[in-house]
Structure 1
């Protein structure tokens, strides 16, 4: 048997899920043939408990660095990571998000790993001038970069700090539609499990309860329509620091019994069919996987026209609205709520067809295989 390439995938936090339909890192592991690649998953912070899932990689490593040790110069963490990589002699290191990318940019001056791939999931990571200067100084021929959407790739290019069309790709996030659908309960069962009225029209949202997700604007828009559509309710799945503020807003707007904060739900995708309309009123997004999750449930979508999501909304035949624009969001909700059940279902089918065509998981995996194969070939690495 030929010797396998050794690949390290480095992540900031342990976050492996029992279902990996939308797990970027696990889908990359699935993309690389086991007969050619030996995979190690490493996590800077955290580790699984006894009943928690682990990566499907050949090996898992948990550094368990403290938050403090990953700030500033990070000398002790950098030294441990350097020793580990030097000992293992990886052929490829895949870095998810800024911190792993930043650490490996420095360390690879000495490690000389043939191929390093840095994956950016959103905007703002290189807004600070000192980060751009450091990155420009450290990027060399060993590096390739990926934005999880064309908009994120363009953000990297616009930073003008070493990201170029020659070393930067857009590989759009995808979800395993077949696995996602297999998880989803029926409309009736989902509502039963969530404790929601089976007879109402239901507007849904999924995401952390934080200001950037824009839930307060969704509540305000719904409040404008609550009397026009008395058989419509709103439910948000998620938890976060904005919960108390959102509950106060529900009370202020007179939405008690009409708007529901359902809290965190493990594998929340299983409940997606409880809803009739899927919304993402975010102020900013890198890609917005929850938008794809709504489409997998064959739901019509309303979402903010931020750069990362606008092509998805337009492709899905959904409604795009300006972030934080309550009148625009109200008009979009009014548009869909005014449709018949059949017309609304047709809109959901249109979104589902777009998802199948443009966000197929096999295409995602193939693009990563090609990126890694071509990068190793350019580095002069051949299987022995």
Structure 2
């Protein structure tokens, strides 16, 4: 079975999406050839099969006038490439890729398609009509969480599968560094508690509010450090804000790390102040690392941690400051054990494996 995995873009901002697709592809029901297509830029890290970078201009992909003629040319090239690849299954990264390739399905009658959604998406009426042209037996729509799947079902008016992303707990835990090793890798000095935050430095992740809350709480937490792993467009702004609040020496920006998954033991707590999430894989990574999690009160986080979650109102700085200060006295190890039991990593991993195989059936 030949699978063509089509991704929107590459680079560190899209690493989590690439990781998800790599995990899904690893559980294809039978061995076959995998070809990865990257529409914009470079830096695809699927780790499975070969890769083709199309280097398409974003203005053409968006299909607005006067670029529709160019878009038709791109689709013709891709139709020819799909036939040459003898594709049996297409795995598409969200609605942007679906808009480009679903119109070709009428000319590829033997190809099955799976569209995997990773986060909240604005679907217009044209998108809905496009998806409804194809029966569920041929076009499978899936989401990385049950919360997201329910929303998409309402928007699309068709079934949406839940393929909740999960990690192999045994493999993940084997690669973790010890606490001191992880702190040395990040260049952290010995001292007070280390609070971690992981993700792209963009508005939706809530890091600006988190820095404000940390600055307020730090007076009650001598020696505490906030360590932020990730990069993005707001880095300079966030650094300037930490400086203005007088906590620049206690807020460390460590940038993007390829070895991120090994480093969670450096943290005493993980803080996830996101405004919205499709899944929030960092939550799972922290739980598997025995690091207790404090997170925004989002349905997708409650889906994973249930009653064991420590949930705070989205964007409520005073509430977050109080919770951060409380980390100094709270039993984090006991909470981490509760969160492991709630997440049930082994069961989640088996469900993910079965869901991925079903999604990619030819």
Output the TM-score relative to the length of structure 2: 0.88
Which residue of structure 2 lines up, in the alignment, with residue 357 of structure 1? 345
2:274 pairs with 1:282: yes
2:279 pairs with 1:292: no
Secondary structure of the structure 1 residue equivalent to 2:299: coil
8 A Cα contact 2:36 2:46, kept in partner? no
8 A Cα contact 2:22 2:46, kept in partner? no
8 A Cα contact 2:196 2:269, kept in partner? yes
Output the TM-score relative to the length of structure 1: 0.84
**What is the rounded CA distance, in whole Å, between the counterparts of 2:17 and 2:189 in structure 1?**
28
Deviates more, 1:62-71 or 1:228-237: 62-71
Cα distance change of structure 1 residues 119 and 89 upon mapping to structure 2, 3 Å threshold: same
2:79 pairs with 1:78: no
User: How many residue pairs get matched?
Assistant: 355
Cα distance change of structure 1 residues 210 and 366 upon mapping to structure 2, 3 Å threshold: same
Give 1:21 shift.
12
Give 1:162 shift.
4.0
Secondary structure of the structure 1 residue equivalent to 2:246: coil
8 A Cα contact 2:92 2:113, kept in partner? yes
**What is the rounded CA distance, in whole Å, between the counterparts of 2:359 and 2:258 in structure 1?**
33
**What is the rounded CA distance, in whole Å, between the counterparts of 1:254 and 1:20 in structure 2?**
32
User: For residues 107-122 of structure 1, what are the structure 2 equivalents within 5 Å?
Assistant: 107-122=104-119
Give 1:363 shift.
2.7
Which residue of structure 1 lines up, in the alignment, with residue 28 of structure 2? 32
Give 1:282 shift.
0.7
8 A Cα contact 1:221 1:327, kept in partner? yes
Which residue of structure 2 lines up, in the alignment, with residue 380 of structure 1? none
**What is the rounded CA distance, in whole Å, between the counterparts of 1:302 and 1:229 in structure 2?**
17
2:244 pairs with 1:252: yes
**What is the rounded CA distance, in whole Å, between the counterparts of 2:55 and 2:166 in structure 1?**
29
Secondary structure of the structure 2 residue equivalent to 1:60: strand
**What is the rounded CA distance, in whole Å, between the counterparts of 1:43 and 1:262 in structure 2?**
28
**What is the rounded CA distance, in whole Å, between the counterparts of 1:320 and 1:237 in structure 2?**
21
Secondary structure of the structure 2 residue equivalent to 1:285: coil
1:224-270 residue CA offsets vs partner (Å, 9 max, x unmatched): 22111213221111111111221222122221322222222222222
Secondary structure of the structure 1 residue equivalent to 2:48: coil
2:140 pairs with 1:144: yes
8 A Cα contact 2:167 2:345, kept in partner? no
Select the residue among 85, 90, 96 that pairs with 2:87.
Answer: 90
Cα distance change of structure 1 residues 370 and 81 upon mapping to structure 2, 3 Å threshold: same
2:3 pairs with 1:7: yes
User: For residues 97-246 of structure 1, what are the structure 2 equivalents within 5 Å?
Assistant: 97-126=94-123, 128-137=124-133, 141-159=137-155, 161-164=156-159, 168-246=160-238
8 A Cα contact 1:6 1:38, kept in partner? yes
**What is the rounded CA distance, in whole Å, between the counterparts of 1:105 and 1:21 in structure 2?**
20
Task: For structure 2, list consecutive stretches of 5 or more residues without a partner in the other structure.
Answer: none
